[in-house]
Chain A
């Protein structure tokens, strides 16, 4: 066979060697590219293949009251997470866990959802596992692939429902909030503050999460725990507040003991605006939210007609009613229309004829002729109708706006509601058309705190704070004011002292005389907010001692019919602050007239609760700041 002649074979052997050499060069080139040129890329990919990041939660900063007592701190808790390589393997592990400890279906769905979003991070199954759960799982660790149990600090509120509306609660950040960049520095799974101080000062309290790495194999089994150095978590900073925790507790115990089931709110502040107590009823236990609230609890809280999640001190609006008469008196004095001793031309005979209508005073038999002091003490409508008409609609709206009734108080809490108070007649033109309203009716309504004038408790308290001090104050605050605006009543010290004297008369011989105290002089004003849906709401705003106020307390109780039934609570709170705890056995229970006291919160047949307007989100960017310790 001629092809096998030596020289022909040699020729083909050379060709064969060339092809072989070329083929091996191709292979070697491919290895050179992968191992030398792209080494770094593949090294990183191989690392990320086997290293998994486990976030280490930072302990949140403690919330302290003005004396350093703990309002919120952290206790040890356990988180249970699963590192999975696929959704199927996660499902399998969850099944095995469910055989050991109860796993409800929402938890399961949530864990799978978390895995879908961040497959390379361990999915949280129990954010707050009990010790029993942890030990049961630990026993069966060999069969639970990718199980990561970590001891992590969890939030704890020792006073639970007594401080709920003050502190808010904490929860996992949502995907939407991340998109909106509402919590700078937060990542999926980060615990952030919700409502109250927790939300307002989240950036101070939150701290920075750390991280540790674990090495896993292709089946997701943990191989080494100390795979790489961890970044230690940075604890959040503690925050000292102006709250007097003892007083806050007292308010809660007073409310739960003497007015169970009554909806309302109470705030206490110093003349400087430091909030001593802020309470809203009904309340809830913020500890329920730690580690994710159970579906059943959430349903209960959100469907309860009494709306326990609503902070009635800042989120509910009521007609300010009679307590607003002080504002009318202040306006009159400021415009030099009246003095403390001025009398009105028409004495009170149980009502007054204006145009073709007859407007009633609350007292049918009439108060007779009163000066301003007496009119405040007796809360005489007829007197204030005349004062309102003398002021005129424009003065009423302008002065009211200047005294801060058209703005939020500026307290450093999220979701404070915007009060309704028109500052010019354009509002009425717009709302009712220029011919659809009369100045007179506005004057009459506003002069007794009714009409298109709704205020939150905190805003009314801020007004009384101004009344109790020099007439010129900043917003109330828990850590520091949210806004810098100053509320200026524009009254002289003499005028203010006169109005305070009138408020002393309210307690001494006026509508709240049952609440007079022996140890100090209480001053204040009762009120009844008309409620078209049921019994009227009761107001009382007061302070003491009247000559040199140290504490201002405002309270509203829904369906309390009249402020005189609210006054005793306020009196007790002021007394507690000024005099101290009552000796045991001397406490007299207060009975609210007209309220059937139930032990359980009532299912509402009395009509809807006050309307709540969601406050528009405001930018909350603060530099970390700690208030100086309060001596």
Chain B
């Protein structure tokens, strides 16, 4: 076992876990005790469990995973449906149905399992093909594989997790070799939806899209479909907006301008940025952040834990944390690049897509680069099922790295 160990990957993950637990400890150091106070101790237990899961995952053959992927995928879909029926919410997201609770014990969020199942299922499907998808028609099967869990999670409703499915989907299609223009055309309806709020910009977008379609020359029927779907998106954008729940509307609006409603929807965005901005170069010092201490920071131990890093350790601390994440992703790219087989390679890149979406969205929302969606930060945010699923994902990558080393792909 020792011979195939990818030391850099493990060291980076170890450092991230350590950084995470320390930050979580600090997040609990408030003047008036909050739910966060003892969280770091429980998180230590989860870390231990996570390391065991990581070890077990790294001992699991990719072949077994490839074989079991459809069953796991089906099971996760079943759980998602079940969640919609008997699910419960928690904390600030009490209005949603994201958790499966049995006898008062929350067993976890099925969407975490579904993310991993989707990675395996997409890897199996894409690696089983003779070549990468070249037409939009060929994207329909993988689109369905990702679309079904996406819609089920959206129905909870949990926009943050749903976006992760999209991230995984595009990352894996890219790694499978799908041409960039195809990915662009696939994503175009979403862009159309977002631009539809300004008629002039949307008009320009539709003209530009027409030019691109003429230039790339896909099949006529596909070109027409893309164009029709784009037009339709533009048409339904406003009615769709009106159907969004007010809190969702507010979150999107306050992303554009947090001062719209500083006491409610914009509160988190403003307080988080205040805390981070007041950190300066070096921050207020570990456990010393006044905004956190005085509980101005919202959700400082789950979704907004990165604001604690920003306030207490300053820009330097933020750069170190982001540097660790970037190192992790580069390591994952390396592992995926050297994998022994397409399935393993795709799984590794899917894990990268999963983690990256989480990190970018979560860190981005603390500085108002991304809209606020309840999405945790890997290795930092408090929460058992998410930590386990991250460790499991990393465990898969460790296994892939080991296989490639044992196969002779060594420096």
Residues on A lying within 8 angstroms of B by beta carbon are: 1-4, 8-10, 12-13, 15-17, 20-21, 23-24, 26-28, 30-32, 34-36, 38-39, 41-43, 45-47, 49-50, 86, 215-219, 221, 223
Residues of B within 8 A of A28 (CB): 318-319, 322
Option from A3, A9, A26, A215 in Cβ contact (under 8 Å) with B337: A9
CB-based A-B contact count at 8 angstroms: 139
Q: Write out, one digit per residue, whether chain B residues 241-252 have a CB within 8 A of any chain A CB (1) or not (0).
A: 000000000000
Indicate if the CB atoms of B174 and A16 lie closer than 8 Å: yes
Tell me if B310 counts as interface (CB < 8 A to partner A).
Answer: yes
Residues of B within 8 A of A36 (CB): 280-281, 315
Cα A47 to Cα B277 with chains together (Å): 12
Interface-located stretch among B84-92, B151-159, B360-368:
B360-368
Tell me if B175 counts as interface (CB < 8 A to partner A).
Answer: yes
Nearest-neighbor residue (CB-CB) of A43 within chain B: B278
Indicate if the CB atoms of B369 and A35 lie closer than 8 Å: no
Beyond contacts A13-B337, A35-B280: 15 other A-B pairs, Cβ-Cβ < 8 A, are A1-B342, A4-B345, A24-B325, A28-B319, A31-B276, A31-B318, A31-B322, A31-B367, A34-B367, A35-B276, A41-B277, A43-B278, A46-B277, A49-B271, A49-B294
Interface positions, chain B 338-384, Cβ under 8 Å from A, are 342, 345, 349, 352, 356, 360, 363-364, 367-369
Tell me if B74 counts as interface (CB < 8 A to partner A).
Answer: no
Q: Write out, one digit per residue, whether chain B residues 277-295 have a CB within 8 A of any chain A CB (1) or not (0).
A: 1111100000000110111
Option from B176, B277, B294, B345 in Cβ contact (under 8 Å) with A215: B294
Indicate if the CB atoms of B333 and A20 lie closer than 8 Å: yes
Indicate if the CB atoms of A219 and B295 lie closer than 8 Å: yes
Indicate if the CB atoms of B330 and A35 lie closer than 8 Å: no
Tell me if B336 counts as interface (CB < 8 A to partner A).
Answer: yes
Indicate if the CB atoms of A35 and B322 lie closer than 8 Å: no
Residues on B lying within 8 angstroms of A by beta carbon are: 31-32, 127, 129-132, 174-177, 263, 271, 273-281, 290-291, 293-296, 310, 314-315, 318-319, 322, 325-326, 329-330, 333-334, 336-337, 342, 345, 349, 352, 356, 360, 363-364, 367-369
Residues of A within 8 A of B342 (CB): 1, 3-4
Which of B130, B275, B293, B337 neighbours the largest number of chain A CB atoms within 10 Å of its CB?
Answer: B337
Nearest-neighbor residue (CB-CB) of A27 within chain B: B363
Indicate if the CB atoms of B318 and A35 lie closer than 8 Å: yes
Indicate if the CB atoms of A42 and B290 lie closer than 8 Å: no
Option from B278, B294, B326, B345 in Cβ contact (under 8 Å) with A42: B278
Cα A32 to Cα B276 with chains together (Å): 10
Nearest-CB distance from B97 to chain A (Å)?
A: 29
Query: From DSSP, what is the main secondary structure of chain B's interface residues?
Result: helix
Nearest-neighbor residue (CB-CB) of B291 within chain A: A46
Taking A8-B177, A35-B277, A41-B277 as contacts, is the C-beta distance between A3 and B333 under 8 angstroms?
Answer: no
Indicate if the CB atoms of A216 and B310 lie closer than 8 Å: no
Indicate if the CB atoms of A24 and B277 lie closer than 8 Å: no
Option from A12, A13, A219 in Cβ contact (under 8 Å) with B177: A12
Option from A12, A30, A45, A49 in Cβ contact (under 8 Å) with B367: A30
Cα A15 to Cα B296 with chains together (Å): 40
Nearest-neighbor residue (CB-CB) of A26 within chain B: B369
Taking A20-B326, A26-B369, A49-B296 as contacts, is the C-beta distance between A42 and B315 under 8 angstroms?
Answer: no
Indicate if the CB atoms of A1 and B130 lie closer than 8 Å: yes
Indicate if the CB atoms of A31 and B294 lie closer than 8 Å: no
Option from B275, B315, B349 in Cβ contact (under 8 Å) with A31: B315
Nearest-neighbor residue (CB-CB) of A36 within chain B: B315
Indicate if the CB atoms of A12 and B296 lie closer than 8 Å: no
Residues of B within 8 A of A16 (CB): 174-175, 333, 349, 352
Nearest-neighbor residue (CB-CB) of B341 within chain A: A4
Nearest-CB distance from B336 to chain A (Å)?
A: 7
Nearest-CB distance from B173 to chain A (Å)?
A: 11
Cα A38 to Cα B279 with chains together (Å): 11
Taking A13-B333, A26-B369, A45-B277 as contacts, is the C-beta distance between A35 and B174 under 8 angstroms?
Answer: no
Nearest-CB distance from B308 to chain A (Å)?
A: 13
Residues of A within 8 A of B322 (CB): 24, 27-28, 31
Cα A306 to Cα B129 with chains together (Å): 103
Nearest-CB distance from A34 to chain B (Å)?
A: 4
